Chains A and B, each alone.
Chain A
Amino acid sequence: AQRVTQPEKLLSVFKGAPVELKCNYSYSGSPELFWYVQYSRQRLQLLLRHISRESIKGFTADLNKGETSFHLKKPFAQEEDSAMYYCALGGNNRLAFGKGNQVVVIP
């Protein structure tokens, strides 16, 4: 069975401070991992995926198979980063989402 855990529901950070959103997964196969983001009044959209190994909007995420984690990081938070973030695991026949993290960046 696929399972994604995002432990913190709400994360408040000051502008310029580092942000780290934790994501742990459970899956017996080879995982495909994603971070999706939903800004206020916008639709859910892909932020990044582990396979591309790229930085998007200053965010990076590294797949750690030993710790079964895919944490999202950004060294300096910006106000426009305030949003809902979902970690997702692709496997079997579906994409399983975590419960999401609400990030609030305080000016």
Chain B
Amino acid sequence: NAGVTQTPKFQVLKTGQSMTLQCAQDMNHNSMYWYRQDPGMGLRLIYYSASEGTTDKGEVPNGYNVSRLNKREFSLRLESAAPSQTSVYFCASSVGLGFGNEQFFGPGTRLTVL
């Protein structure tokens, strides 16, 4: 099993450009998450999907949109990238929503917005 996979691994954008980060999991998990990791800030939740067909805002959703395409895939879209969105983005999945469930993380996407 590949677990959680993310594409691309690295990306450089210019301010105002758009892009979609892809995430897929092969563990038959119901819940999926997008985080950003910034120095000194830890991981902050952007959006999550409790189950196929549902999405909800996390702690820092502004400037992002998500799509739960099917049970396996959960994409994150930046419509108009800004330098403040320079970060490392992690996708994660878990059997169910929250709290007592272990989350499994992807390798991350390092995004730079110039």
A interface with B by C-beta (< 8 Å)? 6, 9, 32, 34, 43-46, 49, 51, 86, 90-100
Q: Which listed residue (B98, B100, B105, B107) contacts A51, Cβ 8 A?
A: B100
Q: Interface majority SS on A: helix, strand, loop or mixed?
A: strand
Q: Which listed residue (B4, B43, B48, B56) contacts A97, Cβ 8 A?
A: B43
Residues of B within 8 A of A45 (CB): 104-105
Considering only CB atoms and an 8 Å cut-off, how many residues of chain B contact the other chain?
28
Give A12 to B105 CA distance when docked, in angstroms: 26
B103 in the interface, Cβ–Cβ < 8 Å?
yes
Give A92 to B100 CA distance when docked, in angstroms: 11
Contact bitstring B3-44, A, C-beta under 8 A = 1, else 0: 010000000000000000000000000000101000011111
What are 12 A-B contacts with C-beta separation under 8 Å?
A32-B100, A43-B107, A43-B108, A44-B105, A45-B105, A46-B102, A90-B98, A95-B33, A96-B45, A97-B35, A99-B40, A99-B41
Max chain A CB contacts within 10 Å: which of B41, B59, B98? B98
Give A90 to B100 CA distance when docked, in angstroms: 6
Give A39 to B42 CA distance when docked, in angstroms: 15
Cβ of B95 to closest chain A Cβ, rounded Å:
13
**Given known contacts A32-B99, A43-B108, A91-B99, A86 and B48 CB-to-CB distance under 8 angstroms:** no
